[in-house]
Amino acid sequence: MLYQIYETQRSLMEPFADFAQAASKLFSNPLSPFNQMPMAQRMSAGYDLLYRLGKDYEKPTFDIPSVEVDGVGVAIHERVELDKPFCELRRFKRFSDDPATLTKTKNQPVVLVVAPLSGHYATLLRDTVRTMLKDHKVYITDWKNARLVPLSEGEFHLDDYINYVQEFIRYLQGVYGNCHVISVCQPTVPVLAAVSLMASRGETTPLTMTMMGGPIDARRSPTAVNNLAMNRSYEWFENNVIYRVPDNFPGAGRRVYPGFLQHTGFVAMNPDRHATSHYDYFKNLIKGDDASAEAHRKFYDEYNAVLDMDADYYLETIKTVFQEYKLVHGTWDVRSPEGKIERVRPQDITTTALFTVEGELDDISGSGQTRAAHDLCTGIVSKEQRHLEAKGAGHYGIFSGRRWRELVYPQVKAFILEHQAGLKPAVAGKSGAAAEVAPSDTDAMAAANVSASPAQRPRRSSARKA
């Protein structure tokens, strides 16, 4: 019922938000007579703030049209490589007509960035992707809003998340020979499980795993987020935060943890900070500080855009990661696509190098939670294990912003490059413009199907030749 009440309230507020937007423009437009009224700038700022507080925030775009590689502009074409019911494997393909740049980029490392499914969209990692595109071929998991997934697509469990990650890894291995995996925050746990299961089966595992700010062992330095999950029962979460999607969405009837409830929780963690930020925005509009106002808009366009999570996945994550600590206790069993129950054994990983990253001031995943991966991956020799504590960095600072670009990324880049040798080179394509290229998509799918069992093979693909 709460979801229906929220949607009704949102629908009722929408005309007022539109009115506030129009009124703000009316008072700020120099050609408008209202612009000449006393307090016009203040009125415009007030209406603009009301608009932003009342508007509905849609999924943002990555909006990475180009990057620079050694001072040369390289065009980026974003496309969906694989389309699954609950996730898209998204590729950022680089194009250049400069021969030296093409030669440099076509044999660079392939990186699968596994984005969090914990409230925000994968676009939260926009800066991560933009930075990495200078030196890597980049793919990312773009998780779908559960309220847009019809019930006919079935349920989505934590096991399905793990199976998706394995399928994406196999796909990239079929195209390029192998890949590197980076997981940010929540997916560090399912990514470690995915690679562990592949190792236990004797499959080829990624060359490296880079795990950043995730709750591998949530018992260490517990934060407010950890305490909430630990101090409330499984039944409390099921009874208080799980609702069914209303009829006006494709996923009508699906049980979800709604995005608007998650957003309320995000804001409740630091209400004073958000109130101050909005007041500063109001003052910047009055002063005409367009740069600061635009920075505020960009941040909150991302921060306020949230998605619904499937209830089964969310509740199982709470129970597995934050309440029963199944990964660190060695009691985690995962169901494969064929229905086989398999035990997660990180100690079976031997051929994948491990790099963990933590932020000194991280208030989401406390100190030592990510580093705990080293204690579990005892099969990886010590020289293939690294750890970095980013001084002065909070949770978001380890994958976005100045500290990410200047402190964390150079070490991640060096670690990946160190373990890149020996992969097969990419093959030239047939597109009109020169591009970083790989074997044709048809060949890639064939290779992936040869190495995977029928249940493991990609079931859907929107991949096309460049």
pLDDT digits (tens, 9 = 90+) for 118-149: 889 999 999 999 999 999 999 999 999 999 99
pLDDT surpassing 50 at residue 342: yes
Q: What is the mean pLDDT of the chain?
A: 89
- Mean pLDDT over residues 296-309, rounded? 92
Nearest to 190 by CA among 227, 164, 156, 224: 164
Identify whether the C-beta of residue 256 lies closer than 8 Å to the C-beta of residue 243. yes
Please answer whether residues 109 and 416 qualify as being in contact, where contact means their C-beta atoms are separated by less than 8 angstroms: yes
Which domains occur in the chain, in start order?
A: 2-56+277-303 (no CATH), 67-237+309-456 (3.40.50.1820)
| Residue 260 reports pLDDT greater than 80 | yes
The mean pLDDT value for 104-112 works out to 93
Query: What is the per-residue pLDDT for 11?
Result: 87
Of all residues in the chain, the percent with pLDDT exceeding 90 is 74
C-beta separation of 433 from 95 below 8 A: yes
- Model pLDDT for residues 39-49, shown as the tens digit of each residue: 999 999 999 99
Q: Is the dihedral of CA 144, 310, 146, 8 positive or negative?
A: negative
Whether the pLDDT of residue 440 is over 90: the answer is: no
Residues paired with residue 212 on neighbouring β-strands, in sequence order: 184, 357
Residue 145: which of 45, 284, 239, 249 has the closest Cα?
Answer: 249
The angle at the Cα of 134, spanning 133 to 139, to the nearest 5 degrees, equals: 15
Cα–Cα–Cα angle for 422, 426, 429, rounded to 5 degrees: 175
What pLDDT does 434 receive?
55
Question: Phi then psi for 354, rounded to 5 degrees?
Answer: -125, 130
Report residue 219 as tokens: 């018992």
pLDDT of residue 436: 57
Instruction: Give the residue-averaged pLDDT of 203-214.
Output: 97
**pLDDT at residue 1, rounded to an integer:** 78
* 423 Cα distance to chain centroid: 27
Q: What is the pLDDT of residue 458?
A: 38
Choose among 158, 322, 157: nearest CA to 237: 322
pLDDT at 266 over 70: yes
How far, in Å, CA of 73 to CA of 97, rounded?
10
Picking from 268, 308, 322, the residue whose alpha carbon sits closest to that of residue 119 is 308
Angle between helices 158-176 and 441-451 (to 10 degrees): 120
Higher pLDDT, 466 or 73: 73
Contact 60, 123 (CB under 8 A): yes
| CA gap 440, 425 in Å, rounded | 13
Of 226 and 389, the one with more pLDDT: 389
- Judge whether residue 425 has pLDDT over 90: no
The closest alpha carbon to 357, from 378, 388, 393, belongs to 388
Selection from 250, 263, 255, 251 nearest residue 316 by Cα: 255
Q: If you ran DSSP here, which 8-state letter would residue 244 be given?
A: E
Burial class (CB in 10 A: 0-12, 13-18, 19+), 345: middle
Euclidean distance between CA atoms 124 and 412, whole angstroms = 19
Better-scored residue on pLDDT, 284 or 10: 284
**What is the per-residue pLDDT for 134?**
95
Instruction: Work out the angle between the directed axes of helices 290-303 and 271-287 (0-180°, nearest 10).
Output: 140
* pLDDT band per the 50, 70, 90 thresholds, residue 228: confident
Q: 426: closest CA among 204, 113, 177, 67?
A: 177
Rounded Cα–Cα distance for residues 224 and 363 (Å): 8
Neighbours of 341 (CB within 10 A): 9
Higher pLDDT, 382 or 432: 382
pLDDT band at 7 (very low <50, low <70, confident <90, very high): confident
Q: What percent of the chain has pLDDT over 70?
A: 90
Q: What is the mean pLDDT of residues 344-349?
A: 98
Please state the rounded mean pLDDT for residues 310-338: 96
Tokens of 245: 């999607």
CA-to-CA distance for 119 and 317, rounded, in angstroms? 13
Give the pLDDT confidence score for residue 24 in this predicted structure: 94
| H or E stretch covering 261 | helix 259-269
Question: Which pLDDT score is estimated for 438?
Answer: 46
How many whole angstroms separate alpha carbon 209 and alpha carbon 416? 9
Reading the block at residue 380, the tokens are: 């990886």
- Which class for 162: exposed (0-12), middle (13-18), buried (19 or more C-beta within 10 A)? buried
Q: Is the pLDDT higher at 144 or at 1?
A: 144
pTM given for the model: 0.86
Q: Per-residue pLDDT averaged across 349-370, rounded?
A: 95
Q: What mean pLDDT do residues 357-361 have?
A: 95
Is residue 108 predicted with pLDDT exceeding 50?
Answer: yes
Q: Is a pLDDT exceeding 80 seen at residue 36?
A: yes
259-269 vs 271-287: helix axis angle to the nearest 10? 90
Least confident interval from 47-51, 100-104, 309-313: 100-104
- Contact between 205 and 380 under an 8 Å Cβ cutoff? The reply is no
